[in-house]
Structure 1
């Protein structure tokens, strides 16, 4: 049975790089993949970009009201049609894997759709994202992935002090902030929103002991 995987980590833990590497590995073996990300992630528009400078256009964006399984089915049919029309011998004519970037921004119903794609449609789904927001609260999409995913894998990165980073601190204009909307896409705001991955000790030091 195909599985739903959630690969998560703090900011700058190489999630997008790992996704693009997974896509390359499938395609190197002659298999087809589909890449998607939530529409709310306006950074990079319709591109998935890694810190190493590698980028790739997604096959489709998922809006907050979209049926993720129906969108996948539509693009799966396209892949099957194009592969069959190419008449290339010994190539797989179906999608081998669906890869989702910034999965924390999906709504819980869309995470349910990802499970159905894996279990009912037989296509493995690799979802990459962060677990908690800048106030240490789980994103709804990440919380649902934690509940449903067959496999959970943490991608690790380090804090400024060298310890394992656990949290994602938000800075506005270079200053740490601990109040505000859950979603603020980095580097696209007029106030220059950025994030820093931090261990629990450094996060508590900057927040004055606050965790939410």
Structure 2
């Protein structure tokens, strides 16, 4: 039976790199996949790019109003936005074995529901990769819904500068840590950057900022 998986971790935990490797493993075995990324993540445009440099094109750049279940089924059948993707005369096309989602925290709760339906009603496995919380330590709505619905959770660890396991995504603007502002601000845009910190280092930086 197909399942909905959520692999989460702080920044620099290798989420995108793991997605790219998983995509390669499926395709190496002749299995079809569909890679989805929210359009909210403007970094690298229509590709999944790992910090180590590996990249893979995105099949669906999802906007908040998009029905991800419908788009996946269209991609499987070669209809809708995917008409002409292949020639039916070439023979039957294999079904999609797995949907891989990068930056899943930016999806809407409704889109997470659609991915759940895709797994349970259409028997297409879904693996979502994303952050648990934003830079204010608040859970993203998409991530919250994944914790409510996913069959499996897998935490991808990364290290804080002190050597402890990092839990929090801390935002810098011009080199200074900030703890208020818009939820979405993409790493690398303007003077914005992020650092993954453990709870103790996070509290230390927050106290310094107040």
Q: Shorter chain as normaliser: what TM range?
A: over 0.9
What is residue 15 of structure 2 aligned with on the other side? 15
Normalization by structure 2: what TM-score? 0.93
Does 2:207 align with 1:203? Answer: no
Contact 1:83 1:93 (C-alpha < 8 Å) held by counterparts: no
Say if 2:193 is the partner of 1:194.
yes
Question: What is aligned with 1:32?
Answer: 32
Structure 2 distance, partners of 1:66, 1:209, is 42
Q: 1:185 to 1:85 in 2, by over 3 A?
A: farther
Contact 1:3–1:124 (CA under 8 A) maintained in structure 2: yes
Gaps of 5+ in 1: none
Per-residue displacement from partner, 1:183-204 (whole Å, max 9, x unpaired)? 111112x3x1110000000000
Task: State the Cα distance separating 1:209 from its structure 2 match.
Answer: 8.3
Deviations 1:28-59 (A, max 9, x none): 11111010110110000001001121111100
Pairing partner for 1:82 from 73, 79, 86: 86
Q: Which runs of 5+ in 2 are unaligned?
A: none
Q: What is the correspondence of 1:91-110 to structure 2 with a 5 Å cutoff?
A: 93-110=94-111
Counterpart in 2 of 1:116? 117
Q: Distance in 1 between matches of 2:45 and 2:156?
A: 24
Structure 1-normalised TM-score?
A: 0.92
Question: How many angstroms does 1:82 deviate by?
Answer: 3.1
Give the CA RMSD over aligned residues: 1.9
Contact 1:36 1:100 in 2 (8 A): yes
